[in-house]
C-alpha cells in the first residue's frame, strides 16, 4: 500500500515546516534525523517553544537531587544554554508561544529572550523564574525592563503570563496601552514591585485577568469593558467592579476572598452579573466569631445568573453553612463544586461540629442544581454526611463527581504519585462504598 509519504515528499518545504510546527518542540527537533531533506527543516519551527523544568517534563517522579549549590548552578547553566542554543538555531519569522519556566538568574539572557519574543511576533509569552527542587523553592531576581524601545512591538501578543518577574505598574500599563493591542489574557503573580495598577485603555481587548499573590499592591483600578474573567488573590483593596460590565467569571482566594464573602451585599450589582463564582472560605474560619455566629449568612444578595459555584473549604459546619446560604441565593445554579482542603486535622476533626449537629438545617429542595463535584474527598464521616445532605436537598441531581485527589496536587507531578498511594486508594474505596448506597444517582469517581 502507498503511504502518506508518496505524496508528502512532493510537498514544498514550507508545508512540511507547517506540519512540524504543530508538534512539540522536542518532536520537531527529532525530525532532523529523519533524512537529509528534513535535517534543517525544524529551524523554521514556529510552534510552541516550551522550556520547562526538564525534570517535571521528563518524569513525574521527584528527581533525586543533590541540593548543594554546585549541581543547581550547573543545572541553571545547562538550562540557559539549552534555551540559547535552540533560540539561536531558529530561522523563522514568527513563533506561536515562548514559555520559559525555571529559576534562571542570568538577567542578561532573559533580556535577550524577551527581545526574541518581540522580534518573532510571539503570540503567547510565559515567564516563570521559580522552581521547586524537592521542598525548596528557588526564585529568580529578574525585573522586566523599563526601557521600552525593544519591546515596543508585541503587536501579536494575545497571552502574557509573568510569575516571579518584577514588573512595575508603569511598565505593565505601558505594555497594555501601547505595546500589546491584541492582548486578551494577562496573568501576573508574585511581583513585589507591582504597587499600583490601572487596567484601562480606550481600546483594551483584555478578556481574562489574573492577579495573584501581589503582596505590595496598594491600588488597583479596573476599566476593562471586554473583561470576562477575573481572578484575584492579594491584599484587601477596595477596588470597584463598576467598570467591568461583561465580567461573568470571578475567582477570589485568600484574605480577599474572605473580605468579599463578608461584604457580599456591598457587591450585589456585581454578583448579579456573574455566571461563575469561585471563593475560598479557608480565611473566613480563622478566629472570626462573627462568622461562626453566621452573621454574614443573612444578607447574601440573590445571584440570579450564577451557573457554577466553586468553594474551597472544609466539610466543617461553619463552611457548610456559608456554602448552603450561597446555594440558596443562586436560583439558576447548575453546578456546585466543593474543593475540600487536604490535610485537615483528622484528630481534632472528631470534635468539630458537622451536619448532624445542625438539626435545624433546611431540607427544602434546591431545584436547579444538576451536578455536584466533591474534590479532595477523604471519606470521613463528615464527607459522607455532606454528600447525603446534598442528595436530600438536590432532588434533580444528575451527577456526583467525587475525586479523592487533593486539589492542590491536580496537574502537578505530585498528582500521579498521590494517585498511587494507599491513602488515595482507601479514600477512593470509601467513595465507591458511598456510591453503592445511592444506586439511583450517577457517581463519577476517577
Partner 1 sequence: MASSSSSSSCSSSSEKKITLKSSDGEALNVEKNVALEFEPAKGFLEDNSEEADDEAIVVPLPNVSAAVLSELIPYVKQRLELSAKPVQKKLIKAFDDQFTRHLSDDKLGELMLAANYLGVNYLLDVLCDVTADRIKNKSVEYVREFLGIQNDFTPEEEAELRAQCPWAFEGVDQD
Binding site for partner 1 (CB under 8 A): 1-12, 15, 18-20, 22-24, 26-27, 29-39, 54, 57-59, 82
286-288-289-291 Cα dihedral, nearest 10 degrees: -100
Mode of pairing for the β-strands spanning 159-163 and 136-139? unpaired
The sign one gets for the Cα dihedral 416, 422, 427, 428 is positive
Report the nearest approach of partner 1 to the CB of residue 275 (Å). 18
CB nearer partner 1, residue 4 or residue 436 = 4
Three cell numbers written together for 416: 500521579
CB nearer partner 1, residue 32 or residue 106 = 32
Residue 315 backbone zone (phi > 0: left; psi -120 to 50: alpha; other: beta)? alpha
Distances (CA, A) of 281 to 252, 257, 288, 354: 10, 7, 12, 16
CB nearer partner 1, residue 21 or residue 164 = 21
CB nearer partner 1, residue 19 or residue 265 = 19
CB nearer partner 1, residue 6 or residue 149 = 6
CB nearer partner 1, residue 96 or residue 231 = 96
Report the nearest approach of partner 1 to the CB of residue 123 (Å). 16
Report the nearest approach of partner 1 to the CB of residue 205 (Å). 18
CB nearer partner 1, residue 25 or residue 189 = 25
Report the nearest approach of partner 1 to the CB of residue 57 (Å). 8
H/E segment holding residue 101: strand 97-101
Spacing of C-alpha 193 from chain mean position: 22
Report the nearest approach of partner 1 to the CB of residue 1 (Å). 7
Q: Quick check: 172 and 195 in contact, CB under 8 A?
A: no
**How many other C-beta atoms are found inside a 10 Å radius of the C-beta of residue 182?**
13
Helices and strands (H, E) in the chain, number of each type? 16, 18
Report the nearest approach of partner 1 to the CB of residue 76 (Å). 15
Report the nearest approach of partner 1 to the CB of residue 78 (Å). 9
CB nearer partner 1, residue 31 or residue 354 = 31
Closest CA to 86 of 51, 121, 133: 51
H/E segment holding residue 212: strand 208-212
Q: Which residues, in sequence order, are CB contacts of 167 under 8 Å at separation 6+?
A: 143, 144, 188, 191, 193, 194
| 231 burial level (CB within 10 Å; 0-12, 13-18, 19+) | middle
Report the nearest approach of partner 1 to the CB of residue 27 (Å). 7
CB nearer partner 1, residue 26 or residue 370 = 26
Report the nearest approach of partner 1 to the CB of residue 69 (Å). 23
Amino acid at each position: 500500500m502507498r503511504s502518506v509519504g508518496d505524496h508528502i515528499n512532493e510537498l514544498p518545504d514550507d508545508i512540511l515546516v507547517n506540519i512540524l510546527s504543530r508538534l512539540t518542540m522536542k518532536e520537531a527537533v527529532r525530525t532532523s534525523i529523519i533524512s537529509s531533506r528534513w535535517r534543517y527543516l525544524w529551524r523554521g519551527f514556529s510552534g510552541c517553544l516550551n522550556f520547562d523544568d526538564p525534570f517535571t517534563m521528563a518524569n513525574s517522579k521527584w528527581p533525586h537531587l543533590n541540593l548543594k549549590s554546585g549541581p543547581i548552578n550547573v543545572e541553571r547553566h545547562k538550562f540557559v544554554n539549552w534555551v540559547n542554543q535552540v533560540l539561536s538555531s531558529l530561522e523563522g519569522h514568527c513563533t506561536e508561544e515562548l514559555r520559559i519556566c525555571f529559576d534562571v538568574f542570568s538577567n542578561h539572557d532573559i533580556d535577550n529572550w524577551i527581545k526574541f519574543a518581540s522580534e518573532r511576533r510571539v503570540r503567547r509569552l510565559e515567564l516563570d523564574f521559580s522552581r521547586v527542587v524537592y521542598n525548596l523553592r528557588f526564585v529568580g531576581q529578574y525585573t522586566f525592563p523599563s526601557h521600552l524601545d525593544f519591546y515596543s512591538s508585541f503587536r501579536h501578543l494575545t497571552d502574557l503570563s509573568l510569575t516571579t518577574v518584577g514588573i512595575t505598574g508603569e511598565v505593565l500599563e505601558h505594555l497594555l496601552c501601547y505595546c500589546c493591542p491584541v492582548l486578551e489574557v494577562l496573568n501576573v503573580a508574585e511581583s513585589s514591585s507591582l504597587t499600583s495598577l490601572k487596567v484601562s485603555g480606550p481600546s483594551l481587548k483584555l478578556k481574562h485577568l489574573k492577579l495573584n499573590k501581589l503582596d505590595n499592591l496598594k491600588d488597583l483600578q479596573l476599566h476593562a469593558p471586554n473583561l470576562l474573567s477575573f481572578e484575584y488573590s492579594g491584599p484587601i483593596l477596595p477596588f470597584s467592579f463598576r467598570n467591568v460590565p461583561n465580567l461573568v467569571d470571578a475567582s477570589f482566594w485568600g484574605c480577599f476572598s474572605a473580605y468579599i464573602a463578608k461584604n457580599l451585599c456591598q457587591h450585589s450589582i456585581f454578583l448579579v452579573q456573574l455566571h461563575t463564582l469561585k471563593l475560598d472560605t479557608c480565611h473566613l474560619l480563622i478566629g472570626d466569631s462573627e462568622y461562626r455566629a453566621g452573621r454574614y449568612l443573612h444578607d447574601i444578595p440573590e445571584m440570579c445568573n450564577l451557573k457554577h459555584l466553586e468553594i474551597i473549604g472544609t466539610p466543617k459546619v461553619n463552611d457548610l453553612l456559608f456554602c448552603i446560604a450561597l446555594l440558596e441565593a443562586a436560583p439558576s445554579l447548575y453546578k456546585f463544586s466543593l474543593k475540600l482542603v487536604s490535610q485537615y486535622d483528622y484528630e481534632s476533626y472528631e470534635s468539630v461540629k458537622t451536619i448532624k449537629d445542625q438539626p435545624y438545617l433546611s431540607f427544602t429542595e434546591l431545584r436547579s442544581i444538576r451536578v455536584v463535584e466533591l474534590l479532595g474527598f477523604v471519606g470521613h464521616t463528615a464527607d459522607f454526611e455532606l454528600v447525603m445532605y446534598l442528595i436530600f436537598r438536590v432532588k434533580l441531581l444528575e451527577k456526583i463527581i467525587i475525586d479523592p485527589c487533593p486539589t492542590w496536587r491536580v496537574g502537578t507531578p505530585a498528582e500521579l504519585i498521590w494517585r498511587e498511594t494507599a491513602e488515595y486508594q482507601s479514600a477512593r474505596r470509601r467513595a465507591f462504598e458511598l456510591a453503592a448506597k445511592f444506586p439511583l444517582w450517577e457517581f463519577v469517581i476517577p
